[in-house]
Amino acid sequence: MLFYWKDRALRWWLLAGCGAIFALVFALYGLPVQAVGYAALLCAALLAGYGVLGSLHYRAKHQKLQQAQHSIGVTLDGLPPADSQLEQDYQRLLGVLSAEKASAVLAADEAQSELVDYFTLWAHQIKTPIAAMSLLLQGDRPPDAAEISEQLFQIEEYVGMVLSYLRLGSEGNDFVLRSYDLDGILRQAVRKYARLFIRKKLALVYEPVGRTVLTDEKWLLFVVEQLLSNAIKYTPKGSVSLLVEGDELLIRDTGIGITPEDLPRVGEKGFTGYNGRTDKKATGIGLYLCRQVLQKLGHGFRIESAPGRGTTAAIGLFRSLDTRE
């Protein structure tokens, strides 16, 4: 109750000041000051009663607010009703903050859940080349250097993908947009997968395209590598082509293709489709990352495919004006 009187001390002093002014004016005009004292006494008694009732209400509300600190959860239902417009404004403000907090917590929980799901999948995925290397080293015959090199290459691929996943999901980004020689980017990707082309006896169809592109070299290279890796993975025989038609870079293979029912969902997070279910190592993350990167860079992206007739992944070489960076 002491806080109630302290909170309203200015009001009491103002009332006392008003009474003093009345007494002074009455004295200056020769009016009976006793009338002021009598009126002041009656007002004081009335104000005292009002103060006692007000302090009791103040104390009850204070106790409810203290209890709400321990019981209030997602909603603000535990708050006592507002007695003034200012309190209503504060409660609306608390409601806005509570909704923002709930939204932020939900987004953080979803992001954490997605991260856990991805790392769980990634951990199972990377076990395959590690187990293969272990078997190669435990055999009676000398380990095959080419086999071990291929398994190490797969491990490097998985590590690179998870790092890209984390960088892409961070609040900031490291995009550096400049004009780059497209052939320089394509040659880096071709050199990286040259060994797999030789091992699978696939033909590479590539002629210098002589084009420049406004992009981020590192991230566009990541996309080209992912698409090239998929083309090699799902092409048992034939060829993989890198070419430019109009304003698009095409990565075309003669592989097994994608079923019509799976094609609309290609690039969704975690979607592997029929081919991914056949290939137990597929995660569906690669194409999802490609779509996310190209969207942030402002490049268009589309996929055309038919079962048994190969797949064509097309990247728009011009940046869209409505990029989201």
More confident residue, 15 or 298: 298
Alpha helix (H) residue ranges in 201-297:
217-233, 273-278, 285-297
Averaged pLDDT of the chain:
80
Distance of CA 26 to the CA centre of its chain: 73
Choose between 264 and 40: higher pLDDT: 264
- Is the pLDDT at 87 greater than 70? The verdict is yes
At 215, which helix (H) or strand (E)?
A: strand 212-215
The answer to whether 248 and 316 are in contact (CB under 8 A) is yes
Handedness of CA 35, 36, 41, 42 (dihedral sign): positive
Instruction: State the average pLDDT over residues 65-87.
Output: 67
Q: Which of 50-64, 117-131, 250-264 has the lowest mean pLDDT?
A: 50-64
Residue 269 amino acid letter: K
Q: What's the pLDDT score for residue 38? A: 75
Pick the closest to residue 168 from 115, 205, 224 (CA basis): 115
Name the nearest CA neighbour of 158 among 294, 296, 295, 283: 283
Using the predicted structure, report yes or no on whether residue 211 has a pLDDT greater than 80. Answer: yes
Calculate the CA 242 to chain-centre distance: 33
Structure tokens given for 320: 């869209």
DSSP-derived letter for residue 279 is S
Phi-psi bin for 17: left (phi > 0), alpha (psi -120 to 50), beta? alpha
CA pair distance 11, 4, nearest whole angstrom? 12
Lowest mean pLDDT segment, chosen from 38-52, 177-191, 228-242? 38-52
What the block records as the tokens of 153 is 């290459």
Tokens at 181, concatenated: 């020689």
Q: Which residue has the tokens 């409601």?
A: 95
Taking only the tens place, the pLDDT of each residue in 295-317 is 989 999 999 998 989 999 999 99
Please name which of 31, 37, 45 lies closest in space to residue 19, comparing C-alpha atoms. Answer: 37
DSSP 243: E
Beta strands in 63-209 (DSSP E): 178-181, 203-206
SS3 230: helix
| Predicted TM-score (pTM) above 0.75 | no
Structure tokens at 48: 């005292």
pLDDT in tens, 110-160: 878 877 877 877 787 788 888 888 877 776 667 677 778 888 888 888 888
